[in-house]
């Protein structure tokens, strides 16, 4: 891992256990070109919702 990558946190991190690996449970499109994804941590099962701008 490079020094630059160690200084910045890229991607999602589970709030409960710190894991960076998730399953996507479902994806839904909403008005305005956005995607809502429901994700579940592979390690502890904590769920979170992300809102992404579609390109």
Residue 11, pLDDT > 90, answer no
Q: Write down the domain spans for the chain.
A: 21-55
Q: What is the dihedral of CA 5, 9, 15, 19, to 10 degrees?
A: -20
Q: Are 54 and 35 in contact (CB under 8 A)?
A: yes
> How does pLDDT run across 12-52, given as a tens digit for each residue?
999 999 999 999 999 999 998 999 999 999 999 999 999 99
pLDDT at 29: 94
Across the strands, what pairs with 26? 38
Q: Phi, psi at residue 5, to the nearest 5°? A: -70, -30
pLDDT at 8: 66
Q: What is the pTM of this model?
A: 0.74
Residue 1, pLDDT > 60, answer no
């Amino acid at each position: 891992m490079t020094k630059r990558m160690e200084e910045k946190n890229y991607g999602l991190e589970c709030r409960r256990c710190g894991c960076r690996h998730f399953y996507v449970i479902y994806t839904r499109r909403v008005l305005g070109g956005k995607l809502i994804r429901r994700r579940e941590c592979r390690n502890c099962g904590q769920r979170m919702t992300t809102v992404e701008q579609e390109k």
